[in-house]
Amino acid sequence: MRKAAIVFAGQGAQFVGMGKDLVEHYPVCRSLFEEADSVLGYAISALCFEGPQEELTKSNHCQPAIFVTSMACYRALASLVPDLDPVAMAGLSLGEWSALHAAGALTFADTLRILQARGAAMQAACEEQPGGMVSVMGVGRDDLVAICNESGVEMANLNSEEQTVLSGPKDGIEKAAFLAKERRAKRAIVLDVAGAFHSSLMRSAVDQLEAVMADVVISAPSVPVVSNVTGAPHGDVDAIRQAMLQQVTGSVHWYEGVAAMTAAGADTFVECGPGKVLSGLIKRIARGSTLLQVQDDASLKSTVTALQD
């Protein structure tokens, strides 16, 4: 059995039809979506399977939707590979909540409710303080710091040595893109996102999330879960609670997180959930590692075979 780390998709990976194939093939996945519908009080399953895309894309819908789909992928994998023993887990932004649930730190229902509230709070913050994000490639850290200082934006996602996403007010994002091109960036692309995620403009969302999380029970994870905030495995349960609040406004240290999982012995990364964004990032960080995905029946079967080689 390979030494695998499990990673979970973040916001933006959603697409209409996600999870449907797994529900049709695996009772454990069907039961999961039925439970999600019951907890949320509306048919998140129908939204995932049938759309419309504009409704699925809204933060208050897509965050719980991606979580349920990701967990369906993981549970299907675990049902076919009962001796699966991950060396670590992680997720990109909302995907970190998937990792914490998969590691036993939070119940399914509590995670679902948190993500519904988190998505709604972040959507509200986007509407209160309009902002944006820009993906910059090929600019060194010192230049990135200078760009942030000059344009009034912040580093949101440290995805790899080559790619960093900046976040902030819309006018600041336009200026940051211009400054990056002046510094001969390979690419500086303004992203089509709802707002300035992982920046101080999300502060109001933190306040709302803190109230929702106040009475939620968090247990010690059974598998090391790497924190977006630190790029290292989470500490005790109090530290987890604080880190997950800080995550909303703080930078995502994805590059350091992948390095930490590699240091823990991971030679294989299994991306659970819609899309292959994380596999693309990991390919540039953990060179030579095996990259697998689970998002439908075909990819699940392929991954099961590869893990057992």
Known catalytic membership, residue 198: yes
Q: pLDDT tens digits for 252-273?
A: 999 999 999 999 999 999 999 9
Q: What is the pTM of this model?
A: 0.95
Known catalytic membership, residue 93: yes
Please report the pLDDT score of residue 194 as a whole number. Answer: 84
**Mean of the per-residue pLDDT values for the chain?**
95
Q: pLDDT tens digits for 18-30?
A: 999 999 999 999 9
Please report the pLDDT score of residue 75 as a whole number. Answer: 97
Candidate list 45, 59, 70, 93, residue with the active-site label: 93
Q: How confident is the model at residue 57 (pLDDT cuts 50, 70, 90)?
A: confident
Candidate list 198, 199, 234, 253, residue with the active-site label: 198
144 strand-pairing partners: none
Instruction: Average the pLDDT over 50-66 and give the result.
Output: 92
Cβ neighbours around 141 below 10 Å, total: 11
Q: What percent of the chain has pLDDT over 90?
A: 94
Instruction: Average the pLDDT over 283-309 and give the result.
Output: 95
Give the chain's domains with CATH numbers: 4-127+200-308 (3.40.366.10), 130-190 (3.30.70.250)
Rounded to 10 deg, the angle between the 27-40 and 108-128 helix axes is: 60
**DSSP code string of 125-194:** HHHHS-EEEEEEES--HHHHHHHHHHHT-EEEEE-SSSEEEEEEEHHHHHHHHHHHHHTT-SEEEE---S
